[in-house]
Copies of this chain bind each other. A is one copy, B any other.
Amino acid sequence: MVQTHTVKSFDEELRSLRALVSQMGGLAEYQIRMALDALMDRDIDGAAKVVTADAQIDALEQEAERLAVEIIALRHPLADDLREVISALKISAALERVGDYAKNIAKRSTVLSQARHIQPLAIVPEIGRIVAQMLKDALDAYGSRDTAKALKVRDRDMDVDDLYNSLFRSLLTYMMENPQAITPSTHLMFVAKNLERIGDLSTNMAEIVYYNVTGERMAGDRPKHDDTAFAQAPDASRE
């Protein structure tokens, strides 16, 4: 049974706040799709749309923060309600960052559009597909307060890290064999890093949703498989 507040407009305000966050989420999903399309189809106009959407997300984040602070100041929410407001603040901050990463991917797609055949590029749509699904699931979990779905998001983060590691190493080797492709390959590394970060942020959001619904932190250590900070191309190893 859902508990309703005595003051009707408090519920309305909370719903408005949730709606703002969901709207940001929808824009972020759109951005990622467009950025990946821009990258794979070398679509420069699509890249420009991602940049426009990012400005909208930034504006919505400011609006969400303003509303959250107003709710706190005027309604003095306690316990579950306060957790709800703080969660909305944190998720909107995470979505703002997702927007930044998508925008960066779109910008790099402009340089990458000049690079015809970087062979490891083929792994990118696979990472993009998983990451877009993670974001969607995190947002669905937020919308429906679904803890099972939130847990599922975190489990997928390991797949992203594994694919990212694999791509990073492939690109190191590829650059050594194709020095003329160093510039686009470097940009592709940053694209992959941005996607990996979007996966991380989706996992953060899922953790916030879980905490929001249950009042408990997700059990167990977060799986973390990104070890590219130590990565070397095979022929770069010493002794």
Contacts and interface: CB of A to CB of B under 8 A. Distances in A.
B73 A111 contact: no
A187 B228 CA distance: 9
B111 A232 contact: yes
A146 to B, nearest CB: 24
| Copies of the chain in the assembly | 2
A231 B76 contact: no
A220 interface: no
A108 B65 CA distance: 36
A149 interface: no
A69 B83 CA distance: 8
Interface string A208-237: 000000000000000000000111110010
Contacts of A79: 73
B182 A236 contact: yes
Given A111-B230, A172-B186, A176-B182, 10 more contacts: A65-B86, A69-B83, A93-B93, A111-B231, A111-B232, A172-B182, A175-B179, A176-B179, A176-B180, A182-B236
